[in-house]
Amino acid sequence: QVQLEESGGGLVQSGGSLRLSCTAPGFTLDYYSITWIRQAPGKQREGVSCISSFNGAIYYADSVRGRFTVSRDNAKNTIFLQMNNLKPEDTAVYYCATDTLSNCRGVDSPRYDFWGQGTQVSVSS
């Protein structure tokens, strides 16, 4: 069973920054697109960003474009989400997931094969 692992969440003030990481011990992420998804209490799940493997395409939700940057380091088998100028509305549990396709379908996918356990991001005003 493949398990993705997120880290890097925490509590920051509005305007602050965090960098989330997504790894998968024993599973090579190089070949797959990876999506960052967030879930806030009482709100629908939201695809935040997706980074492709094969064609290099990257997608962002309108709500984070210009503030968040997704990247991948294949040598470290890690995908990063750099989050700058954080706002209270960014507060959520952030998950990384993959539908095991090489290229992103968009900022979100109708199904995912593997997920992480999530990391909490809290932004105070």
pLDDT digits over 72-103, tens only? 999 999 999 999 999 999 999 999 999 999 99
CA–CA separation, 35 and 40 (whole Å): 16
118 contacts 7 by C-beta, under 8 angstroms: no
Q: Report the chain's mean pLDDT, rounded to a whole number.
A: 96
* pLDDT above 70 as % of the chain: 100
123 contacts 49 by C-beta, under 8 angstroms: no
- The confidence band for 2, taking pLDDT boundaries of 50, 70 and 90, is confident
Q: Quick: pLDDT tens for 7-28.
A: 999 999 999 999 999 999 999 9
CA–CA separation, 40 and 84 (whole Å): 18
CA–CA separation, 102 and 18 (whole Å): 27
